[in-house]
Structure 1
Amino acid sequence: MSAIPASLPLRNDLIGEEPYGAPQLDVPVCLNVNENPYPPEPAVCDAIAARVRAIAPTLNRYPDREHVALRQAFAGYLERESGARLEVGQLWGANGSNEIMLQLFQAFGGPGRTAIGADPTYSMYPEYARDTFTGWQLAHRNADFTLDVDRLIARIEETGPSMVLLTNPNNPTGTPLPQADIERVLAACEQVQVAGANPGVRPVVVIDEAYIEFRDPGTPSAVTLIGEHPNLAVSRTMSKAFAFAGARVGYLAADQGIIDCVRIVRMPYHLSAVTQAAALAAFEHTDEQLARVAHLRDTRDATAAWLKTQTYKGTPLRVADSQSNFLLFGGCFDHRDAIFDAMLERGVLIRVVGPEGWLRVCMGTDAEMARFREALVESLRIVEQQ
């Protein structure tokens, strides 16, 4: 990245900042950004091409800015996937769940407002806060990365935040968030006054379910609580389990009041006609798009078991409990950057993220995971000898 000229009037709080993003490198095995490694089936590609071809003659016109057909598809999918029956007015789409989160910060954050998360957590949250001039605070998780609900509630009561952000499963640890914990946080927020707001204004609780489809079967989703909690917002994405990262489609499920707040800050015609057409085609082939989820779940569990048999300088590797498509592992790496570099030299890209001493790997194809295991064994041996 080239240096930014000192003569440009960059905001003072952005001076010295770097753009967010995991490395995008041309290596044989990329296991660093939690994608679904399996491409769409030919039938899905054909359906996408047909849908886009059908709307191509209308591209001289703006798209449906309310994307009603796509919101209906979100509703149908959530009823099937989680048993939640939601109306179109309770759903909203955007260019990835990143835009959903930014819209939430734009609507509910801002100067004088505070958002609270539970670390370790998704590293983009403080950047959304920074970009919207929102205060950002953290309540530390337990040593096993589960949510310390008592500590979080105490911080909420002390701060009076406008938003509380929790990920389920958590990123970067993969830790599941029990429904009972979510309900305790919701109950607490329903009694808390947002600092600086009018009387009776309560915090919005945002549950980020980017990886929820990888949870163990039978585990409920927070979308089933929306009817009981008007200040609950649940963010979803098609990027991960749905094998649609390149299309950039995220969506929000919430009470219509929250959706209407987000509509105030959305950019005009923010979701292109091409994006809407591609997403509708993908939903027409939901079974094919999700066909590999169970296998990736099995791969995660098998990889976790294997990692626990490995050692680093005589210490067994730790693996955080995960219901996602990635694993945080190590807990004992005193030179994790060196391990990352050694893996990269062997053509395997993983992620340096989360607490010191840990690394993260997302699940790839069977062949990619075999190469990961080989490269990790070699890399640990090399770093141990340095």
Structure 2
Amino acid sequence: MSRLADLPLRPELAGQEPYGAPQLDVPVRLNVNENPYPAPAAMRTELGAAIAEEAAGLNRYPDREAADLRADLAAYLGHGLTAANVWVANGSNEVMTQLLQAFGGPGRSLLTFPPTYSMYPEYARNTHTAMLHVPRRDDFSIDPDAAVAEIAERRPDVVLIASPNNPTGTATPSELIEAVLAAAPGLVIIDEAYAEFARPGTRSALELLPGHPRLVVSRTMSKAFGFAGGRLGYLAADPAVVDACRIVRLPYHLSALSQRAARVALRHSAELLGQVAALRAERDGLADWLTRAGLRVAESDANFVLFGTFTDRHAVWQGLLDRGVLVRETGPAGWLRVSAGTPQEMAAFRDALLEVARELDLPITDPRPSAEEAPR
């Protein structure tokens, strides 16, 4: 058998590792920001019937334009959007890749604001797009003056902002996005994968779409809809941007089963978004508990919390794993990220972290219950 190193691999891929957070069989998995709640029973029943019906036509190719699903997503998003404003793909990862295939490429550049989603450099690498960076401030917010100045100087073809940001959870104010739109010569993508988890009053970039034909808002059904296994991402933009994605998409890129399953999930959006409210409360309670325990906590509008800082974060990560709790070792040095889970999972995480703190002699205290957490 040959080795990877023996193959005529593209030079920039030499020594690279495939992306992927650990997928370990442990009791408490809080590392990839999944919705911990299974689909409601009524949704599962409807989904089973829909897939069985769809299976009768699997000998035919699916609707390559996914017209019905795009119309349903437009109705879900609101803001006067129609199917012509929406594009769909296999997760927001494929949405982003298609956007860079269309608007990035050799001789073109992508500007991002680290620390941010670790896949962004891989999207750029895979599409031969140069990467440019404007580091975030110590509180993980974006400096508007630095952003505008760098855009004016570097003239990136694509600007990409995650809001809420992964792995920090930081939301980007609409005013900053408007300033970026005014300065950017090319496409501006706002990655709103976690938008449904934002605190009340947090504005979506969807509000800015009218009058901004180069603005793209990317979303996913993986998080709020608990549809990670369904792999459905989408964007909202001017119809011309959708047409650009249609040029680079692979033929029949979204299966008939994926399209039908996503439409079923959308019909149950009220129930699923009820789970979002519960997870938002768990996130806020967790952030409060970690703060009172003496740790630094990044302000989060997502379904996770970044916390630290640790001299040896890997030892903390391993200690949690040894106790059956899997979190994510990602982001700036010294920080860990934990997803919001069920009340039982949050309790297991807190207990495990306190045990690890005692074992490693970390300055973490066991905070007394707050008024919200106290028994009633």
Q: Distance in 2 between matches of 1:38 and 1:169?
A: 21
User: For residue 335 of structure 1, what is the aligned residue in structure 2?
Assistant: 312
- RMSD over aligned Cα, in angstroms? 1.2
* SS of equivalent to 2:257: helix
Please report how far the alpha carbon of residue 3 of structure 1 lies from its aligned counterpart in structure 2 after TM superposition.
8.7
Q: Distance in 2 between matches of 1:36 and 1:56?
A: 27
TM-score, normalisation: structure 2: 0.94
Q: Which of 350, 354, 364 in structure 1 is aligned with 2:341?
A: 364
User: For residue 267 of structure 1, what is the aligned residue in structure 2?
Assistant: 250
* Contact 2:114/2:136, CA 8 A, preserved across alignment: yes
* SS of equivalent to 1:234: strand
* Contact 1:40/1:288, CA 8 A, preserved across alignment: no
Q: Distance in 2 between matches of 1:186 and 1:383?
A: 47
* SS of equivalent to 1:146: coil
Q: Which amino acid aligns with 2:75?
A: G
Which runs of no fewer than 5 residues in structure 1 stay unpaired?
190-201, 311-315
User: For residue 330 of structure 2, what is the aligned residue in structure 1?
Assistant: 353
Q: Distance in 2 between matches of 1:115 and 1:32?
A: 27
> Does residue 159 of the first structure (1) align with residue 154 of the second (2)?
yes
Which runs of no fewer than 5 residues in structure 2 stay unpaired?
363-376
Structure 1 stretches of 4+ moved >6 Å: none
* SS of equivalent to 2:80: coil
User: For residue 321 of structure 1, what is the aligned residue in structure 2?
Assistant: 299
Please report how far the alpha carbon of residue 13 of structure 1 lies from its aligned counterpart in structure 2 after TM superposition.
1.0
User: For residue 277 of structure 2, what is the aligned residue in structure 1?
Assistant: 294
Q: Deviations over 1:92-145 (max 9, x none)?
A: 000000000000111111110000000111000000000011000110111100
Q: Distance in 1 between matches of 2:125 and 2:22?
A: 22
Q: Which amino acid aligns with 2:297?
A: V
TM-score, normalisation: structure 1: 0.92
> Does residue 126 of the first structure (1) align with residue 104 of the second (2)?
no
Q: Distance in 2 between matches of 1:3 and 1:72?
A: 48
Out of 275-284 and 211-220, give the one that drifted further: 211-220
Q: What percentage of residue pairs aligned between the two structures are identical?
A: 56
Q: Which amino acid aligns with 1:327?
A: V
Q: Distance in 1 between matches of 2:29 and 2:333?
A: 22
Q: Which of 133, 138, 141 in structure 2 is aligned with 1:138?
A: 133
Q: Deviations over 1:195-241 (max 9, x none)?
A: xxxxxxx3100000000000112322111211120000000000001
Q: Which amino acid aligns with 2:64?
A: R
User: For residue 13 of structure 1, what is the aligned residue in structure 2?
Assistant: 12
Q: Distance in 2 between matches of 1:346 and 1:77?
A: 40
Q: How does 1:24-39 map to 2 (within 5 A)?
A: 24-39=23-38
User: For residue 163 of structure 2, what is the aligned residue in structure 1?
Assistant: 168
Distance 1:3 1:247, change over 3 A: farther
Q: Deviations over 1:60-108 (max 9, x none)?
A: 00000000000000111001xxxx1112111000000000000011111
Q: Distance in 1 between matches of 2:242 and 2:55?
A: 29
User: For residue 369 of structure 2, what is the aligned residue in structure 1?
Assistant: none
* SS of equivalent to 1:187: helix
Q: Which amino acid aligns with 1:149?
A: P
Q: Deviations over 1:222-267 (max 9, x none)?
A: 1121112000000000000111100000001000111111111000
Q: Distance in 1 between matches of 2:201 and 2:108?
A: 37
Q: Which of 217, 220, 225 in structure 2 is aligned with 1:234?
A: 217
* SS of equivalent to 1:239: coil
* Contact 2:5/2:14, CA 8 A, preserved across alignment: no
